[in-house]
Amino acid sequence: LWTVARAELLKAVGKSNFANWIEPLRLVDLSDGIVRFDAPTKFMRDWVMRNFSDHILRELSNLGAAVGRLEIGVPELRPIPAQTLTAPEPAAARIRKTARGDEADLAGAPLDARFTFDSFVVGKPNELAHAAARRVAEGGPVTFNPLFLYGGVGLGKTHLMHAIAHELQARRPELRVLYLSAEQFMYRFVQALRDRQIMDFKEMFRSVDVLMVDDVQFIAGKDSTQDEFFHTFNALVDQRKQIVISADRAPGEIKDLEERIKSRLQCGLVVDVHPTDYELRLGILQTKAEMYRGQYAGLKLADGVLEFLAHRITTNVRVLEGALTRLFAFASLVGREITLDLAQECLVDILRASDRKVTIEEIQRKVAEHYNVRLSDLIGPKRVRTIARPRQIAMYLSKHLTTRSLPEIGRRFGGRDHTTIMHGIRKVEELKGADRQMAEDLDLLRRLLEA
C-alpha cells in the first residue's frame, strides 16, 4: 500500500520534493487509524509534518486505508525497534547523510562539494575575508553579526560561504545551517505568500542557527521581500544566531536598499574581497593544475604557462579556472604537451576578451546607472549639478580607463570641446582628495567597470 501511495505522492509533490522529503521516510506501522513513520532528523520530521502530512494522509485514504492521523518518529530519540537492529550500520549512516544533504537542498540551495576551505587559495586580496569566514565556521559564540562579504564577480564569495557551511556541518552537525541566494529567498517568500504559508516560512527561517544569504543586492528594490528579509534578519540577530551575507558591493552602495537594512548590514563585520593580484592568480592556477595532473595522468605542463595565464587573465577567478580546464581537456584530447603556443591557440577567445578595454559607452552607462541619471542627460547639455557632476566623473573615468584622446572623449560626450573635457577631469581630480564620498564612488565605478 505504501509503495503505491508513494508513487502517487511522487506525482503529487513533484520529483524533488519527493526525493527530499518523502523518500527518506520509513513506514513503521499503520494501525488504529494512525500511520507511523521514521524520519532521519527532527528537522525533516517537522518539515514533513508541516508541509506534507495532508498529502500523505490523502493518498493513503484514496487507496482505501483508514487513517486519520500521521506520526513521525526520529529513531535516535526513541528506543530502536527490533527489526532495525539487523539493518547494516552503513545504510543508516547513509540515510542520515542524505537527509542532511537534502535539508540543504530544499530548505536552502545545494552546496558545491568542491567549495571547501581546503580548496580555497588564500592571498592578500582575500585574506581578511578568509579569516572572517574561518572564524564563523568554527561555530563558536557569535562575535560579529552579520559577516558581510562583498566584492566583484568570481572572486570567491560563494566559495567561502559554502566552505563555512561544509565546515559547520562537519564540526557542529546539530546546527541548522541554511544557505541560499537572495533570489531563492525571494522566490520562497513569494511562494509562501501565494500558498498562504507565510507563518511556516517565518518559522522556518527563524529556526535556523546560521543563515547565509548570497548576492543580497538582488532583493534591492523588491520591497516586500526586503521587508521580510529585514524581519528575519532582526529576529535571528536577537536570538544571537549567526548571519552571513554576500553582495557585489558594500552595503552603503546598494541602490534601492532600505536605509534601515543598510545600517543593520553594516553593524557586523564588513569585509571586502579584493580583485585578485598576480600572486593569488598564480596560486590558484598552481593548485588547480596540481589537481588536473592527477586527473590527466601523463600530461606535460611546460614552464611559464601558468605564469602567462596569471599575467594575462585578470578579470576573475571563474574565467581563470575555465581557461585552465579547457587547456587541460584540449591538450589531453590532442595528446600534446601544454605549452605557451598551445595555450595561445586554445584560449584565443579568452585572451582576447581579457585584453578588451573598457569603452566610453560602458563608462557612461555605469555612471548614469550609479547616479540614477538618464544616459541622455549625462551626455546632453543640462548643467544642473546632479547631472554635471556625474558627467565629469564619466569624463574622468574615460580618460583613465580608456586610451581615447580628449577630443575623442569630447565627441562621445555630445560633441563637447576637448577643453571642456579637460576642465571636467580637473574638477574631479580636485574634488576627490577632499570628498570621501566621491573617492569611494570612483573606486567602486572603476571596479565595476574593470570586473
The binding site comprises 154, 156-158
Residue 120 interacting partner from ligand ADP, Mg ion, none (CB closer than 5 to 8 Å by kind): ligand ADP
Nearer to Mg ion by Cβ, of 185 and 308: the residue is 185
Closest by CA to 310, choosing from 290, 337, 280, 289, is: 280
Residues in Cβ contact with 14 at an 8 Å cutoff, skipping those fewer than 6 apart = none
315 makes contact with ligand ADP (CB under 6 A): no
Q: Are strands 34-38 and 147-151 parallel, antiparallel or unpaired?
A: unpaired
> Which residues ranging from 150 to 179 are in contact with Mg ion (CB under 5 A)?
157-158
Residue nearest to Mg ion (CB): 158
Cα separation, 197 vs 55, in Å, equals: 15
Strand partners, 244: 147, 212
Query: Contacts from 195-202 at CB under 8 Å and sequence distance 24+?
Result: 197/51, 200/50, 200/51, 201/228, 202/228, 202/231, 202/232
For the annotated binding site for ATP, the residues are 154, 156-158
- C-beta of 158 vs 232, nearer to Mg ion: 158
Task: Quote the cell numbers at residue 3.
Answer: 509503495
- For ligand ADP, give the closer residue by CB, 139 or 154: 154
The residue within the footprint of ligand ADP, chosen from 60, 180, 317, 448 (CB under 6 A), is 317
Dist. CA 13–CA 395, nearest whole Å: 56
73 or 283: CB nearest ligand ADP: 283
HSE-CB for 171 with a 13 A CA cutoff: 14
Give the per-residue contact string, 101-140, with Mg ion (x = CB under 5 A; - = no). Answer: ----------------------------------------
Residue with cell 572623449: 409
Residues numbered 93-152 forming contacts with ligand ADP, rule: CB under 6 A: 115, 119-121, 126
- 104-118 per-residue burial string, b: 16 or more CB within 10 A, e: under 16: bbbbbbebeeebbbe
Residue 284 Cβ vs ligand ADP, minimum distance, rounded to whole Å: 5
**Size, binding site for ligand ADP by CB under 6 A:** 16
Of the candidate spans 64-72, 85-93, 315-323, 368-376, the one that interacts with ligand ADP by CB under 6 A turns out to be: 315-323
Closest distance of CB 214 from ligand ADP, Å: 7
SS3 (DSSP) at 72: strand
Q: Is the dihedral of CA 259, 262, 268, 274 positive or negative?
A: negative
**What cell does 227 get?**
521587508
Among the residue ranges 130-138, 149-157, 225-233, 341-349, the one whose residues contact Mg ion (CB under 5 A):
149-157
Q: From 413, 381, 384, 375, select the one nearest 396 (Cα to Cα).
A: 413
Per-residue b or e along 392-411, where b marks 16 or more CB atoms closer than 10 Å to that residue's CB: bbbbbbbbebbebebeebbe
**Minimum CB separation from ligand ADP for residue 60, in Å?**
44
Binding residues among 153-212 for ligand ADP as defined by CB under 6 A: 153-159
CB neighbourhood size of 263 (10 A): 11
321 binds, among Mg ion, ligand ADP, none (CB under 5 to 8 A by kind): ligand ADP
Residue closer to Mg ion by CB (options 126, 420) is: 126
Nearer to ligand ADP, 119 or 314 (CB): 119
Which amino acid, one-letter code, is at 149? L
| Shortest distance, position 235 Cβ to ligand ADP, whole Å | 26
Count other C-beta atoms under 10 Å from residue 23's C-beta: 16
For residues 277-296, which are near ligand ADP according to CB under 6 A? 284
Residue 181 makes contact with Mg ion by CB under 5 A: no
Q: Indicate the residue among 5 and 121 with the shorter CB distance to ligand ADP.
A: 121
Measured from the CB of residue 122, what is the shortest distance to ligand ADP in angstroms? Answer: 7
Distance CA 150, CA 130 (A): 12
Query: Of 18 and 117, which CB lies nearer to ligand ADP in the complex structure?
Result: 117
Which cell is 297 given?
Answer: 595522468
Between 348 and 387, how does the x/- string for binding to Mg ion read (CB under 5 A)?
----------------------------------------
Binding to ligand ADP by CB under 6 A, coded x per residue (else -) over 62-101, reads: ----------------------------------------
Within 290-392, strands assigned E span: none
Smallest separation (angstroms) from ligand ADP to the CB of 53? 37
- Shortest CA distance to 422 belongs to which of 386, 396, 451, 448? 396
CA 151 to chain centre: 12
Residues that bind ligand ADP (CB under 6 A): 115, 119-121, 126, 153-159, 284, 317-318, 321
Residues that bind Mg ion (CB under 5 A): 157-158
